[in-house]
Homo-oligomer: A and B are copies of this chain.
């Protein structure tokens, strides 16, 4: 299902299994899964809407061929057989199918003669593990249909479904390109949620480090950096992707939708802006941490060293009067001992004053 930065490859087939396969081999690269793949369909035009949960491929084909806009939502991509079945109905290129089932595929937009192929990453901030998780999402934008593929149940498309059902707004009046846009917009909108959570987290760590840096914090900074890396890897290609979609000459994109794509492009830049700000902030945290740690250490060492230094001459004086010379006149003075103690006090006070004047204590 969802994947972390991609260094660990223990629990999922890795990209390297494809070494011996021909290009266009649909091998599912992702976390193992057992649920059945489910297909939900919403078919609509301005006047009517029809929903169909757990549809079969036949149904898909029939509806997609009609003049209504058909949204085929495929939940689960771990069974390449089914994905290939959909591929053969909609005449998808083998390379497209390969990319749909490869959760490592980075966001991109590719034009094929009959359709546009769009890869996205759906972001979720996992509050338990304090990690950003990315789900692999693909869209096929055809003439009267959109097919969306996602790794598992639970998505960010619910608000789009609500708008379709409520028949409010422009979505029911426009074509499949607007639907594809609406789905992408839902994904991008969700980045703001993830990014705000990360912002809270960063601020919390920053406050903690400024107040009192602890050794554990360095690991937290480490983890923050990795999460920002994950985020950057998802959003930088997104910008390029939506930019080229907006400028695409494809007949599938209508002028009216282009304005919305431009707005979406603007949103991705905003996400990138925030991400880069995070990067700068977290980069500076390491310095703050080191300064804090070294300040504290210096403070300790300074106090202790000054403390020791004050006692050194005192101990020396005691040592002198501990020698066993036959003739040490002071030893025989009546108040010699008390004079020594007084001398020690004076020495200690003088030293303290010296330290204070120098601004050391």
Is there an interface contact between A215 and B319, defined as CB atoms closer than 8 Å?
no
Let me know if A346 is at the binding interface, CB within 8 A. Answer: no
- The docked-state distance in angstroms from the alpha carbon of A321 to that of B340 is 12
- The docked-state distance in angstroms from the alpha carbon of A1 to that of B322 is 74
Is there an interface contact between A327 and B323, defined as CB atoms closer than 8 Å?
no
Let me know if A192 is at the binding interface, CB within 8 A. Answer: yes
Within 8 Å CB of A286, what residues of B?
287
Within 8 Å CB of A289, what residues of B?
291
Q: Which residue of chain B has its CB nearest to the CB of A360?
A: B300
Within 8 Å CB of A311, what residues of B?
312-313, 316
Within 8 Å CB of A325, what residues of B?
321, 330-331, 333, 336-337, 340
Is there an interface contact between B307 and A104, defined as CB atoms closer than 8 Å?
no
Is there an interface contact between A19 and B190, defined as CB atoms closer than 8 Å?
yes
**Per-residue B-contact encoding for A239-262, CB less than 8 Å = 1, 0 else:** 000000000000000000001101
- The docked-state distance in angstroms from the alpha carbon of A185 to that of B18 is 11
**Per-residue B-contact encoding for A311-349, CB less than 8 Å = 1, 0 else:** 111111011111111111011111111001100000000
Let me know if A35 is at the binding interface, CB within 8 A. Answer: no
Nearest CB in chain B: distance from A142 CB, A: 17
Nearest CB in chain B: distance from A190 CB, A: 6
- Identify whether the interface residues of A are mostly helix, strand, loop, or mixed: helix
Let me know if A202 is at the binding interface, CB within 8 A. Answer: yes
Is there an interface contact between B322 and A324, defined as CB atoms closer than 8 Å?
yes
Within 8 Å CB of A350, what residues of B?
none
Number of this chain's copies in the complex: 5
Within 8 Å CB of A169, what residues of B?
22
Q: Which residue of chain B has its CB nearest to the CB of A320?
A: B318
Let me know if A273 is at the binding interface, CB within 8 A. Answer: yes
Nearest CB in chain B: distance from A120 CB, A: 15
Nearest CB in chain B: distance from A218 CB, A: 5
Let me know if A225 is at the binding interface, CB within 8 A. Answer: yes
Is there an interface contact between A295 and B215, defined as CB atoms closer than 8 Å?
yes
Nearest CB in chain B: distance from A150 CB, A: 17
Q: A22-B169, A196-B14, A287-B286 are in contact. Are A323 and B318 (CB under 8 A)?
A: yes
CB < 8 Å: which of B259, B309, B315 contacts A95? B259
Stretch at the interface among A2-10, A80-88, A133-141: A2-10
- The docked-state distance in angstroms from the alpha carbon of A295 to that of B214 is 10
Within 8 Å CB of A301, what residues of B?
301-302, 305
Let me know if A167 is at the binding interface, CB within 8 A. Answer: no
Is there an interface contact between B273 and A106, defined as CB atoms closer than 8 Å?
yes
Let me know if A93 is at the binding interface, CB within 8 A. Answer: yes
**Per-residue B-contact encoding for A254-274, CB less than 8 Å = 1, 0 else:** 000001101110100110011
- The docked-state distance in angstroms from the alpha carbon of A321 to that of B323 is 5
Is there an interface contact between B340 and A182, defined as CB atoms closer than 8 Å?
no
CB < 8 Å: which of B108, B168, B192, B319 contacts A16? B192
